[in-house]
Amino acid sequence: MEKYFHGFLCIIIITFSLIHFVQAQDQEGFITLDCGLLPDGSPYTNPSTGLVFTSDSSFIESGQNSRISKDFERIFEKPFLTLRYFPDGERNCYNLKVTQGTNYLIRASFLYGNYDGSNTVPNFDIFVGPNKWTTLNLNATGGGMHEEMIHMSRSSSLNVCLVKTGSTTPMISTLELRPLRSDIYVSAIGSSLHLRLRSYISDSGLFLRYPDDIYDRRWFPFSDKEYTVVTTTLSVNTTNGYDPPQGAMASAVTHVNDNGTLKFPWNLTDSTTRFHIYLHFAELQTLLANETREFNVLLNGNIFYGPFSPRKLSIETMITKPESTLTCEGGNCLLQLVKTAKSTLPPLINALELFDVVEFPQSETNQYEVNAIKKIQTAYGLSRISWQGDPCVPTQFLWAGLKCSNTDNSSTPPTITFLNLSSSGLTGIVASSIQNLTHLEELDLSNNYLEGAVPEFLADIKSLLIINLSGNNLSGQVPQKLQQKKGLKLNVEGNSKLLCSEGSCSNKAGEGGHPKKNIIVPVVASVSLMVVLIAGLVLFFVLKKKNSSRSKEEGRTGRTSEPPRITKKKRFTYAEVTEMTNNFERVLGKGGFGIVYHGYVNGTEQVAVKVLSQASTHGHKQFKAEVELLLRVHHKNLVSLVGYCEKGKELALVYEYMANGDLKEFLSEKRGESVLRWGTRLQIALEAAQGLEYLHKGCRPPIVHRDVKTANILLDEHFQAKLADFGLSRSFLNEGESHVSTVVAGTIGYLDPEYYNTSWLTEKSDVYSFGVVLLEIITNQPVIDQTRERSYIAEWVRLMVTNGDIRKIVDLSLNGDYHSDSVWKFVELAMTCVNDSSTTRPTMSQVVIELTECIKSENSRGGTSQSMVSKSSREVTMTFDTNVNPMAR
Ligand SMILES: *[C@@H]1O[C@H](CO)[C@@H](O)[C@H](O)[C@H]1NC(C)=O
Ligand SMILES: *[C@@H]1O[C@H](CO)[C@@H](O)[C@H](O)[C@H]1NC(C)=O
Ligand SMILES: *[C@@H]1O[C@H](CO)[C@@H](O)[C@H](O)[C@H]1NC(C)=O
Ligand SMILES: *[C@@H]1O[C@H](CO)[C@@H](O)[C@H](O)[C@H]1NC(C)=O
Ligand SMILES: *[C@@H]1O[C@H](CO)[C@@H](O)[C@H](O)[C@H]1NC(C)=O
Ligand SMILES: *[C@@H]1O[C@H](CO)[C@@H](O)[C@H](O)[C@H]1NC(C)=O
Ligand SMILES: *[C@@H]1O[C@H](CO)[C@@H](O)[C@H](O)[C@H]1NC(C)=O
Ligand SMILES: *[C@@H]1O[C@H](CO)[C@@H](O)[C@H](O)[C@H]1NC(C)=O
Ligand SMILES: *[C@@H]1O[C@H](CO)[C@@H](O)[C@H](O)[C@H]1NC(C)=O
């Protein structure tokens, strides 16, 4: 019972309790930066959203401006064309003025676009204040992504920092802040919400953001062919504080399977991830007097909220309480809407959002002192590359010349205890803001050009023990208060105009044998006095006791122990893997997450064994995903799994052997074999297309491959083509990871340009990538080649087609041995696939039909262009398939 209530209490329903809020329909409070934009082009209005972008130049002092490669320019919206990159310094920070205590939606986007011509996609970290937000692996995404979080700023300035983590150069394209009301998307103190997914149910294909959404959230339409989508043309009252766009609430799913359960499964790559969910409901149908819609909301089989009946045309939002910690055992999550017994109608949902909780434990440096040190920086015009972001934390980015206390107790704001501006070329007077560094123990301003008096306020800084003002041009009298301060060590050597009271200066000077110098070294107290007790610690926030609440949660979310499906497959021991590969003797290649070896099963049957490199934990997840997908999916044009090995950290996948390697190698003639003839190429294209079509149409939910490229099209001994590398494929909620943030597959040049604008990959994104593959097949040219008239293959072919130079497109090594009809058709097809707009691209089924037509017209030519291999040898064998259903779920 207790468990039940714990679950129940995680959720609260928001109806109309929050309506006393004046909605800002304009862009008031929005910060919308186009990074790298020159100030003279600023501001401008982006036509697609009406958002007004400004240059980032007044929000950051470091970095340089650049533009993405011309090849990609035409494809992207203006904000993505320019960027700022950071060749210098470890940490570079934007400093944004915000309203203290306000919740902000922070969105940053990154489009590499080969701006530096090096084709090296960077990887780096992004921080908000002193806390790490996330690692950006642009390398894994084809060079572009968006990240979004909801964060409450505890001070009136917010730092967003890019942190170099390897040899590559951090860069950024846009940075956007949207103030939210502070009673929505509330997270526990010391944490923020990182967006994983925000979708609404619709088959419209319309992506919603500002101005449809007053907060400029981005909503992705989602539908499944099992769904019954209901829509309304009536207005839905969406006013409950969360205020999703009208468009997002005006459609919903009422999925009807046998017993009326709507399921939303998703997998977390890290099973300790805590998350929050927000579910938006509004009844869209008119219920008859004898009809009821009532359902329970279950998370991992436990009642989460219910019974519940959505209100007619009026929003209600189910939210996770800020302090609740939702986790899923083993990282497998399942949200279910289950119809109650008395309900006559299936459940319904309009929109949902999913956030991961990111811990932001590190408290920012004492705001009062941050303001003081910034004033000091301004007063002296100091520009130091390290003087960006938080002065004290994280400690590896401590500002040069500073020391701080409390940096090891993250819940206490650090304070500045030491300031060394020795030999920094300081001019003018001793900055008055120093008096606001109230925890200062040591101050070194020696060897500068400071003038004027030694200020008395130095004596008021209670903790101050050492002051070094030597080697300046200070004048006047050293204040008595300072001279008399107990325990203070003051050095004013080398200030010729400085006078000391009571003659003590001159006495000392005389003794030192330097008549020009005035020295005061008053009362040096016992060493014990040097130990300072820091007073006035401010407790900014208390960290939640994660462990206790988490273990409770885990108890609650216990899942039925269904045996893993994997046991049905052939499982090898590590010893067997060692044996089958003859101790990893022959390397076939190197994949994303490990090395692929050649091997034999049963002594004769050849296999390819992919061994996961132990270093990569990320790879581990990827690897499991791959196993799961391969087990679900069987098709003659998809590389099939023979077995696997899992023993602790040792992981290996055993695939059928593909004797002729990958298409990329083959086209590039690395293998030194004869040229693939046109007929064979057509056949390979068709087979790869069929594999992809199966993923899109034959699987439920559809699988988006996400990394279609020639290197992932493998050829067996009969040149039968099979698609490989499903490790990065995802479906629905998992896909969410990529919709908005982290793990997106894709390779630059192959990646759907629409993705960059919407950060949303669909089946049509695979179609785009496939179009690029088709272009490579016909041209046998690299996807990106700086020496070509247009370096990006799609742009180059477009230019050639426009000029009517189709012969120039076709691979010369084909020696004209092809039917021009089939070639034309093929190029035409490829070009429709690489259409910028996904809606005008064909589906894979259409691609399959078109390719079949190409083959027909090629064959009609007869004689000369037979494939390298005869059709009869192209039979398929699926040796190891056991009792796995042929149709994926
Ligand atoms: C990026 O990916 C490519 C190919 O996947 C790899 O060769 C390269 O080393 C990666 N670069 C970084 C910085 O991870
Ligand atoms: C929405 O519902 C609330 C509460 O019933 C009401 O105060 C508000 O006026 C409604 N808004 C519209 C546009 O009907
Ligand atoms: C609905 O049906 C599925 C199998 O079709 C079953 O596993 C599940 O328990 C059923 N749910 C309810 C609430 O009856
Ligand atoms: C999540 O992982 C489980 C196995 O751990 C798998 O059966 C399931 O299909 C995965 N779900 C999704 C949505 O990928
Ligand atoms: C509800 O009543 C209508 C007629 O008013 C009838 O057609 C329908 O079958 C009834 N539905 C149920 C679930 O009883
Ligand atoms: C951190 O500071 C808080 C409040 O000042 C204190 O309660 C806590 O014990 C400190 N933790 C550590 C590890 O010093
Ligand atoms: C201050 O920094 C300078 C170098 O910039 C160094 O020589 C000096 O020793 C430092 N002062 C103290 C007290 O550490
Ligand atoms: C010290 O801090 C207070 C409060 O922030 C501020 O009003 C004052 O101007 C500061 N003094 C100096 C000299 O910067
Ligand atoms: C003060 O600075 C000078 C020059 O940097 C140095 O020689 C001297 O040792 C310093 N004195 C103290 C007390 O740190």
Residues contacting residue 775 through CB under 8 Å, at least 6 positions apart? 781, 793, 794, 797, 830, 834
Half-sphere exposure of 877 (CA within 13 A, CB side): 12
Q: Enumerate helices (H) and strands (E) in the chain, giving the number of each.
A: 18, 41
Is 844 inside any structural domain? yes
Single out the residue in 478, 504, 530 at which a domain terminates.
Answer: 504
Query: How close is the Cα of 240 to the center of ligand 2, in Å?
Result: 9
Closest ligand to C-alpha of residue 419 is: 7
CATH of the domain at 472: 3.80.10.10
Nearest CA to ligand 6 atom 10: 409
If we measure between CA atoms, which residue out of 489, 452, 455 comes closest to residue 474? 452
Is residue 602, in this structure, part of any structural domain at all?
Answer: yes
For residue 344, the ligand 5 atom closest to its alpha carbon is 13
Tokens of 177: 């802040």
Helices marked H in 513-585 — which ranges?
546-556, 574-580
Q: How many CB atoms lie within 10 A of CB 505?
A: 21
The dihedral sign for the CA sequence 498, 500, 503, 508: negative
Do residue 574 and residue 677 come from a single domain? no
Three-state SS annotation for 599-628 = EEECCCEEEEEEEECCCCHHHHHHHHHHHH
- Residue 339: C-alpha distances to residues 218, 261, 294, 301, 334 (Å): 30, 6, 6, 14, 16
Buried b (16+ CB within 10 A) or exposed e, 71-99: bbeebbebbbbbbbbbeebbbbbbbbebe
Nearest to 252 by CA among 184, 199, 320: 199
Residue 730: its pLDDT value, please? 43
What does the alpha-carbon distance between residue 305 and residue 593 come to, in Å, rounded to a whole number? 41
- Listed as ranges, residues in the chain with pLDDT below 50 are 1-9, 17-24, 502-569, 615-618, 727-746, 864-889
Question: Which residues form ligand 1's pocket by a CB distance below 6 Å?
Answer: 123, 139, 168
pLDDT at 85: 97
- What CATH number did the domain enclosing 574 receive? 3.30.200.20
Distance CA 698, CA 265 (A): 19
Residue 284 CA to ligand 2 center (angstroms) comes to 16
Q: Counting Cβ atoms within 10 Å, is residue 403 exposed (0-12), middle (13-18) or buried (19+)?
A: middle
| pLDDT the model gives residue 700 | 67
Residues 6+ apart with CB under 8 A from 862: none
**Same domain membership, residue 827 and residue 748:** yes
Is 694 found in the same domain as 603? no
Residues 6+ positions from 429 with CB-CB distance below 8 Å: 450, 451, 452, 453, 455
**Does 346 lie in the same domain as 403?**
no
In a domain, 643, yes or no: yes
* 236 and 176 share one domain: no
Q: Dihedral of CA 70/76/79/85: which sign?
A: negative
At how many degrees (to 10) do helices 546-556 and 2-9 cross? 110
> Largest alpha-carbon pair distance within the chain?
114
Same domain, 624 and 480: no
Pocket lining: 267 vs ligand 4, CB cutoff 6 Å: yes
Secondary element (H or E) of residue 24: none
Ligand nearest to the CA of 367: 8
Domain boundary among 480, 504, 528: 504
Q: Which two tokens stand for residue 167?
A: 């040899």
Q: Please tell me the number of Cα atoms within 13 Å of 810 on its side-chain side.
A: 23
* Two tokens, residue 286: 């008119």
User: Per the structure block, which two tokens stand in for 779?
Assistant: 């041209």
**Residues near 54 by Cβ (< 8 Å), separated by ≥ 6?**
32, 33, 34, 37, 42, 43
Distance, CA of 784 to CA of 793 (rounded, Å): 6
Is 266's C-beta closer than 6 angstroms to any atom of ligand 4?
Answer: yes
Predicted pLDDT of residue 814 = 84
From the CB of residue 147, how many other CB atoms can be counted at a distance below 10 Å? Answer: 19
- What is the per-residue pLDDT across 209-240, written as a single tens digit (0 to 9) for each? 998 999 999 998 887 777 788 999 999 999 98
- Pairwise CA distance, residues 128 & 132, whole Å: 6
| 760 & 799 share domain | yes
Question: Which residues lie below 8 Å from residue 455, measured CB to CB, with a gap of 6+?
Answer: 429, 430, 432, 434, 435, 479
- CB under 6 Å to ligand 8: residues? 368, 371-372, 375, 432-433, 435-436
Of the candidates 651, 652, 654, the residue with the CA atom closest to the CA atom of residue 640: 654
Task: List the strands of the sheet with 302-308, edge to edge.
Answer: 261-267, 332-339, 295-299, 302-308
Same domain (yes/no): 687, 612 = no
Q: What is the DSSP string of 145-190?
A: EEEEEEEE-SSSEEEEEEEE-SSSPPEESEEEEEEE-TTSS---TT
Q: Helix (H, G, I), strand (E, B), or coil: what is residue 7?
A: helix
**Residue 773 belongs to domain spanning:** 672-713+727-884
Collect contacts of 36-39 with beta carbons under 8 A, ≥24 apart: 36/65, 36/66, 36/67, 36/82, 36/83, 36/84, 36/85, 36/173, 37/65, 37/82, 38/65, 38/82
User: Is 818:806 a contact under the CB 8 Å cutoff?
Assistant: no
Torsion of CA 719, 723, 724, 728, to 10 degrees: 170
Give the total number of structural domains in the chain: 5
- Which of 139, 168, 622, 664 most suits a substitution to test ligand 1, by most atoms within 8 Å of the C-beta? 139
Is residue 188 in a domain?
no
The domain boundary, picked from 489, 504, 519, lies at 504
Q: Within this chain, do residues 86 and 140 fall inside the same structural domain, yes or no? A: yes
Closest CA to 183 of 101, 96, 98: 101
Residue-level length of the chain: 889
Does residue 71 sit in helix, strand or coil?
helix
Q: Looking at residue 321, which CATH number applies to its domain?
A: 2.60.120.260
Q: Enumerate residues 6+ apart whose C-beta is below 8 A from 557.
A: 299, 300, 301, 302, 326, 327, 328, 329
Q: Are 164 and 391 in contact (CB under 8 A)?
A: no
State whether the beta carbon of 290 lies less than 6 angstroms from ligand 5. yes
- The DSSP element (H or E) to which 370 belongs, if any, is helix 367-379
**Ligand 2 centroid to residue 237 C-alpha, Å:** 6
Q: What are phi and psi of 377, to 5 degrees?
A: -60, -45
Give the model's pLDDT for residue 422. 95
Q: What is the C-alpha radius of gyration for the chain, rounded to an integer number of angstroms? A: 33
Ligand 8 closest atom vs CA 368: 5
- Give the distance (Å) from ligand 5 centre to CA of residue 502: 105
Alpha-carbon gap, residue 118 to 111, rounded angstroms:
14
Q: Is 486 annotated as a binding residue?
A: no
Does residue 436 lie within any of the structural domains?
Answer: yes
Nearest residue (by CA) to ligand 4, atom 9, is: 628
pTM exceeds 0.95 for this model: no
Q: Does the C-beta of 332 come closer than 6 Å to ligand 4?
A: yes
What CATH code is carried by the domain that includes residue 743?
1.10.510.10
The answer as to whether 597 is a domain residue is yes
d(CA 500, CA 517): 11
CA distance 234 to 196: 30
638 neighbors 695 (Cβ within 8 angstroms)? yes
Token pair 């676009």 is found at 113
Label residue 864 exposed, middle or buried (CB < 10 Å: 0-12, 13-18, 19+): exposed
Torsion of CA 499, 502, 506, 511, to 10 degrees: -150
For β-strands 295-299 and 402-405, DSSP reports them as unpaired
In a domain, residue 769? The reply is: yes
Side-chain-side CA neighbours of residue 105 (13 Å): 23
Q: Which residues are catalytic?
A: 707
Same domain, 695 and 826: yes
Determine, yes or no, domain membership for 535.
Answer: no
Same domain, yes or no: 700 and 848: yes
Say how far apart CA 125 and CA 86 lie, in whole Å: 13
Out of 16, 20, 237, 238, mutate this one to test ligand 2's pocket (max ligand atoms within 8 Å of CB): namely 237
Number of CB atoms found within 10 A of residue 401's CB:
17
Which residue owns the Cα nearest ligand 3 atom 8?
Answer: 259
- Residues 695, 825, single domain; the answer is yes
338 and 256 Cβ atoms separated by less than 8 Å: no
